[in-house]
């Protein structure tokens, strides 16, 4: 009943408007209402699409963020593991060297073997094996004797007066120095030549 009354009221308003408006104007009002309704419908549809797109992008962002956090945790765990076991390969390669030392000691202390030359030969072989292992990992000994003194690689323990060597030339090495690639591990401890004092 109320619906019918509203329809009647609407028709009454329209007819009154039609009476007031010049011919053809009621049709344009109707079409402008339709246009407005279409624009509103389009806007609502567009808003729904954009809301859906925003929701989809937000879900993608959450997934990507979670994956990034998991990746960070995995990288950190790998880094800690690598630091913890960084020397594993080097230590594994050093085990045969320890075995050779044990063999040399057992051989030297066995009955009937009192030859110091055999022990010295065993130690030389073991030392050569250790040097080979260190070279495999980029460790090199620093050549010193007869070379010019270089404070980057040598540590002067004393000066020796001599005419047999040029001044600031290394005469003797007390402790061998080592470097790993371009980085110094330990300087060589050396004695350095200087000119003898000339007495008047």
User: Given CA atoms 73, 74, 79, 80 in this order, what sign does their dihedral have?
Assistant: positive
Residue-level pLDDT at 68: 95
Residue 12 in this model has a pLDDT that exceeds 50: no
Instruction: Report the helix count and the strand count for the chain, using DSSP H and E.
Output: 4, 6
pLDDT band of 3, cuts 50, 70, 90: low
Instruction: Calculate the alpha carbon distances from 107 to 49, 100, 104 in Å.
Output: 86, 10, 5
pLDDT at 181: 83
Q: Which two tokens stand for residue 48?
A: 């729904």
- The predicted-structure confidence for 115-170, as pLDDT tens digits, reads as follows 677 777 778 888 888 888 888 888 888 989 989 999 999 999 999 888 888 888 99
Residue 148: DSSP 8-state: B
**Domains, the chain, with CATH or none:** 140-200 (2.30.22.10)
| pLDDT for residue 20 is more than 60 | no
Interval 59-104: pLDDT, tens: 999 999 999 999 999 999 999 888 888 888 888 888 888 888 887 7
d(CA 99, CA 14): 110
Cα separation, 103 vs 96, whole angstroms: 10
Q: How many residues does the chain have?
A: 200
* Helix, strand, coil % over all residues of the chain, rounded to 5: 60, 15, 20
- What integer pLDDT is reported at residue 171 of this predicted model? 92
pLDDT at 40: 87
Whether the per-residue pLDDT at 8 is higher than 50: the answer is: no
């Amino acid at each position: 009943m109320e619906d019918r009354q509203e329809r009647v009221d609407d028709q009454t308003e329209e007819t009154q408007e039609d009476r007031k408006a010049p011919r053809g104007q009621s049709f344009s009002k109707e079409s402008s209402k339709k246009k407005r309704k279409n624009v509103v419908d389009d806007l609502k549809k567009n808003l729904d699409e954009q809301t859906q797109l925003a929701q989809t992008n937000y879900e993608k962002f959450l997934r990507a963020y979670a994956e990034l956090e998991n990746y960070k945790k995995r990288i950190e765990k790998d880094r800690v593991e690598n630091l913890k076991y960084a020397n594993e390969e080097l230590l594994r390669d050093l085990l045969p060297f320890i075995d050779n030392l044990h063999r040399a000691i057992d051989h030297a202390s066995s009955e009937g073997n009192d030859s110091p030359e055999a022990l010295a030969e065993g130690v030389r072989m073991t030392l050569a094996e250790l040097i080979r292992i260190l070279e495999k990992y980029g460790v090199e000994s620093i050549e010193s004797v007869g070379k010019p003194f270089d404070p980057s690689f040598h540590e002067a323990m004393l000066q020796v007066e001599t005419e047999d060597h040029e001044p600031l030339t290394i005469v003797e090495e007390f402790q061998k120095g080592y470097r790993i690639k371009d980085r110094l591990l330990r300087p060589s401890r050396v004695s350095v030549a200087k000119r003898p004092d000339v007495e008047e």
